[in-house]
Amino acid sequence: MQLDSAPLKILNDLVKHSMHDLKRLEEPFIRGSPYDRDLDMEKSGREPSFADYAPMTLHRRYIWLRTKDEVKTLADRVNRIQTRRIAYDSNNIIS
């Protein structure tokens, strides 16, 4: 039985787009250049840790206050996408 992978591809693309948005929102809080960080993570094969984040300053707090609603919206979007992916997988298992 061949499963229709179009909905799954759309959901995976939405996850990739959300990860791009997360990196954009996270960038002001990362220590050093985001480009350098990505290269270092590719070389080491690790995810960012708390040590990679820059210390919180008054300027970064202001940025956080301005982007906080965007972060909440992004978290809600990822939650909805994951729920849809689970529902899609569950429906295909049952079918």
Tell which residue, 3, 15, 22, 2, has the closest CA to residue 85: 15
Is 88 a member of any domain? yes
In-domain check, residue 38? no
Joined together, the tokens standing for residue 25 give: 């929102």
Residue 11 in domain: yes
Q: What is the pTM of this model?
A: 0.66
- Note whether residue 44 is domain-resident: no
Give whole-number Cα distances, 7 to 14, 33, 51, 87, 95, in Å.
11, 36, 38, 11, 16
Asked whether residue 76 is domain-assigned, the answer is yes
Instruction: Work out how many domains the chain is built from and give that number.
Output: 1
Average pLDDT by consecutive 10-residue portion of the chain (95 residues)?
Answer: 71 90 88 61 60 84 94 94 88 75
On whether residue 13 sits in a domain, the answer given is yes
Name the residue range of residue 86's domain. 6-29+55-94
Sequence letter at residue 44: S
Classify residue 78: in a domain, yes or no.
Answer: yes
Q: Decide if 41 is inside a domain.
A: no
